[in-house]
C-alpha cells in the first residue's frame, strides 16, 4: 500500500566528473551535447505530510558570479525610473548579460536576418518559452552563470521540450540517449527526462559549468556543449602549434559550432536592442508559474485531468516527459501543475485511494493472444500491463483473466497526435517551387524527408504552389 504525501522539495545539484567517449556531430542540434560528465541529482527532498505543494528551486545559496563572469549590471534605478522592460524578465536577464560582443561573423548576420525576417516573428519565437524560461532563469541565477545561458535553449530547440533532432537528441537542451544515461536521466517508456524541465536543466547546467572549469572561457564552454570538449581541445592545440590565438573566434571549428555561438549572441543582442529593432518582447513573468504535487504511485492521466480540471494539452505542457496514458513509474513522481490549480488538485486527491489511481477492467486472455497484441489494442505498453498485473515476464495463458486499463487507448492516441505536432520544434510554411523535391527541401532547411512527410501526412509527390510545414533548424 502506498501512502499519499505531498512534497516540499529543495533541489540541489551534485556533480562529479567521469570521462566517457566523445561522439561526432552532424546534426543541426547539439547531438554531442553532454558527452563527458557523470553527475547525479540530489533526491533527498523534504517530505512533509502537512505540506501542500512543492516549491521548485529552493536550493542553498550559490555564488552570484563564477570566474570569467563579469558583472555588467547598471546602477540601481529608482522605482519611478524603472520601465516596463526593466520590471520584466527581459530586464532582469539583460542586466546580467556578461558574454563578449560578436566579432565579425557572417553566421551572426544570417541568424539576425532569420529572426527578424517578418514582423512579430522574434516575439513569437521568444514567447514559446513562457512556461519554462522562468525556471531556467532562476537556476542560472542561483548558480551565478552568465545570463545568456538562459537563452541557450532558444538556440538548441526554440525552447521546445518535444524537439527531436535527426540524430535523436531530445528536449529543449537537446541531449542524446547515450549521454542521458551517463547523466542519470531516465528514458523509460512513461517518462523521458530529457524533456523534463528540472532534470534536463540540472544536467545541462552541470555540464556547462564543468566545461567552463575546463576551458576558463564561456564561449569555449558553450562551443564544447555543441561540438564536444575533445574537438575544442584539438582546435586549441592546433592553434598553439601554429602560434595563433586560442579564443573561440580564432579556432578552426565545425561549421555548426561556428554558427552555434553567434546564434546565442544574436539572440541576446536582439533582446537588448528590441526597441531600436521595433521588436515587442512578449510579456513573460519572472515568477515560476507552476508547483509540484508528489504522487506516491502511478496515476492515469485521465484522472489527473478530472482532479485538476486541466485539458490534456496543459497537463502535457507542464509535464512534457509524460509519453503515455499513465504518469511515470518512478515514485514519488513530482506532478507539475499551474500554481492556480494545485490547491484544488491536492484537496481532491486526499479522497482518492491509491489503489484507484489506475482504473482497470478485466480481460480474459484468448487463444493466440500475446501481451504485446493486448497492449497495442488497449493503448498501454507491455511493461505497463506487467506492472498492473504484478507479472515477472510477458508470458500469458489462454483463459486467464488479467487487468487492462479502462481509459488508456484514447489518451495514448491523443498524446501521439500531440507528439507529432511538437516533435520538430520550430516550423514554417514553405511554398513548393518548380524543381523542388522533398530531399532538396530537407537539405535546404537542414531536416529530413521523414520529418517533412510526417508533418504534412504526404507521400514523396509534391506540386509547385502547394504549401508544406517544414522544421526550421
State the total domains in the chain. 3
Quick: pLDDT tens for 85-124: 666 899 999 999 999 999 988 899 999 998 988 888 899 9
**Omega of the bond leading into 332 within 30 degrees of 0 (cis):** yes
The CATH code of the domain that includes 77 is 1.10.530.10
440 belongs to a structural domain: yes
In sequence order, which residues have a C-beta less than 8 Å from that of residue 348 and are 6 or more positions away? Answer: 307
Higher pLDDT, 414 or 30: 414
Cα dist from 159 to 150, 173, 212, 219, 425, whole Å: 10, 8, 23, 20, 8
Cα–Cα distance between 257 and 245 in angstroms, integer?
Answer: 18
* Residue 464 sits in the same domain as residue 366: no
314 belongs to a structural domain: no
* Interval 382-396 mean pLDDT: 86
Q: Parallel, antiparallel, or unpaired for β 360-364 and 333-338?
A: unpaired
The pLDDT value given to residue 379? 74
The residue whose grid cell reads 536543466 is 201
The pLDDT value given to residue 143? 97
Lowest-confidence region among 173-182, 233-242, 400-409: 400-409
Quick: pLDDT tens for 424-454: 555 667 788 888 888 888 877 767 888 788 7
Cα–Cα distance between 38 and 182 in angstroms, integer?
Answer: 6
Quick: pLDDT tens for 214-258: 999 999 999 999 999 999 999 999 999 999 999 999 999 999 999
Per-residue pLDDT at 49 exceeds 90: no
* Residue 14 sits in the same domain as residue 99: yes
Cα–Cα distance between 459 and 444 in angstroms, integer?
Answer: 19
* Residue 75 sits in the same domain as residue 165: yes
Pick from 403, 423, 348: nearest CA to 164: 423
* Residue 370 sits in the same domain as residue 252: no
* Residue 260 sits in the same domain as residue 365: no
The pLDDT value given to residue 272? 94
301 belongs to a structural domain: no
Give the pLDDT band of residue 80 (cuts 50, 70, 90).
very low
pTM for the whole structure: 0.70
The pLDDT value given to residue 59? 37
**Rounded mean pLDDT of the chain?**
78
Pick from 227, 80, 78, 222: nearest CA to 145: 222
Grid coordinates belonging to 163: 524537439
* Residue 26 sits in the same domain as residue 124: yes
Based on the residue annotation, tell me whether 130 is a catalytic residue of this protein.
no
Give the pLDDT band of residue 202 (cuts 50, 70, 90).
very high
- Domain of 89, in residue numbers: 7-272
* Residue 378 sits in the same domain as residue 466: no
The CATH code of the domain that includes 380 is 3.10.350.10
The pLDDT value given to residue 182? 80
* Residue 398 sits in the same domain as residue 432: no
Beta bridge partners, 170, equal: 164, 175
* Residue 186 sits in the same domain as residue 103: yes
* Residue 62 sits in the same domain as residue 167: yes
80 belongs to a structural domain: yes
| DSSP codes of every residue in 380-438 | --HHHHHHHHT-SSS---TT-EEEEESSHHHHHHHHHHHHHHHTT-SEEEEEPPTT--H
The pLDDT value given to residue 122? 93
* Residue 366 sits in the same domain as residue 467: no
411 belongs to a structural domain: no
Chain Cα centroid distance, residue 239: 35
In sequence order, which residues have a C-beta less than 8 Å from that of residue 409 and are 6 or more positions away? Answer: 325, 377, 378, 379
The pLDDT value given to residue 466? 84
The pLDDT value given to residue 117? 83
Give the active site residue among 31, 148, 156, 296: 156
Give the pLDDT band of residue 79 (cuts 50, 70, 90).
very low
Amino acid at each position: 500500500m502506498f501512502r499519499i504525501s505531498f512534497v516540499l522539495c529543495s533541489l540541489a545539484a551534485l556533480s562529479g566528473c567521469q570521462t566517457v567517449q566523445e561522439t561526432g556531430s552532424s546534426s543541426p542540434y547539439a547531438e554531442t551535447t553532454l558527452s563527458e560528465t557523470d553527475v547525479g541529482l540530489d533526491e533527498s527532498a523534504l517530505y512533509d505530510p502537512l505540506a501542500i505543494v512543492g516549491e521548485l528551486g529552493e536550493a542553498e545559496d550559490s555564488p552570484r558570479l563564477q570566474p570569467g563572469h563579469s558583472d555588467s549590471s547598471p546602477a540601481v534605478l529608482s522605482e519611478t525610473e524603472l520601465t516596463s522592460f526593466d520590471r520584466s524578465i527581459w530586464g532582469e536577464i539583460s542586466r546580467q548579460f556578461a558574454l563578449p560582443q560578436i566579432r565579425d561573423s557572417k553566421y551572426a548576420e544570417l541568424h539576425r536576418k532569420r529572426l527578424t525576417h517578418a514582423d512579430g516573428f522574434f516575439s513569437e519565437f521568444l514567447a514559446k518559452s513562457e512556461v519554462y524560461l522562468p525556471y531556467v532563469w532562476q537556476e542560472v541565477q542561483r548558480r551565478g552563470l552568465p545570463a545568456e545561458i538562459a537563452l541557450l535553449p532558444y538556440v538548441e530547440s526554440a525552447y521546445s521540450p518535444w524537439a527531436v533532432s535527426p540524430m535523436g537528441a531530445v528536449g529543449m537542451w537537446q541531449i542524446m540517449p547515450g549521454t542521458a544515461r551517463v547523466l542519470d536521466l531516465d528514458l523509460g517508456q512513461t517518462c523521458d527526462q530529457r524533456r523534463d524541465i528540472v532534470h534536463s536543466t540540472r544536467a545541462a547546467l552541470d555540464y556547462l559549468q564543468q566545461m567552463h572549469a575546463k576551458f576558463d572561457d564561456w564561449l569555449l564552454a558553450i562551443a564544447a556543449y555543441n561540438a564536444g570538449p575533445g574537438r575544442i581541445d584539438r582546435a586549441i592545440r592546433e592553434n598553439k602549434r601554429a602560434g595563433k590565438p586560442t579564443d573561440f573566434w580564432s579556432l578552426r571549428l565545425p561549421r555548426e559550432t561556428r554558427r552555434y555561438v553567434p546564434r546565442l549572441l544574436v539572440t541576446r543582442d536582439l533582446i537588448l536592442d528590441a526597441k531600436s529593432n521595433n521588436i515587442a518582447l512578449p510579456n513573460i513573468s519572472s515568477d515560476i508559474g507552476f508547483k509540484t504535487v508528489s504522487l506516491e504511485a502511478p496515476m492515469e492521466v485521465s484522472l489527473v485531468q478530472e482532479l485538476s480540471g486541466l485539458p490534456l494539452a496543459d497537463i502535457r505542457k507542464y509535464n512534457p516527459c509524460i509519453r503515455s496514458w499513465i504518469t511515470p513509474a518512478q515514485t514519488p513522481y513530482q506532478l507539475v501543475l499551474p500554481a492556480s490549480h494545485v490547491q484544488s488538485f491536492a484537496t481532491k486527491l486526499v479522497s482518492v485511494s491509491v489503489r484507484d489511481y489506475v482504473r482497470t477492467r478485466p480481460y480474459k486472455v484468448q487463444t493466440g493472444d500475446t501481451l504485446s497484441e493486448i497492449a497495442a489494442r488497449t493503448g498501454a505498453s507491455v511493461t505497463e500491463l506487467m506492472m498492473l498485473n504484478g507479472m515477472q515476464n510477458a508470458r500469458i495463458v489462454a483463459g486467464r483473466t488479467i487487468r487492462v486499463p479502462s481509459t488508456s487507448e484514447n489518451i495514448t492516441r491523443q498524446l501521439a497526435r500531440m507528439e507529432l505536432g511538437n516533435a520538430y520544434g520550430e516550423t514554417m510554411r514553405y511554398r513548393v517551387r518548380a524543381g523542388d523535391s522533398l530531399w532538396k527541401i530537407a537539405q535546404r532547411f537542414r531536416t529530413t524527408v521523414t520529418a517533412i512527410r510526417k508533418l504534412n501526412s504526404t507521400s514523396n509527390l509534391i506540386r509547385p504552389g502547394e504549401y508544406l510545414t517544414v522544421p526550421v533548424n
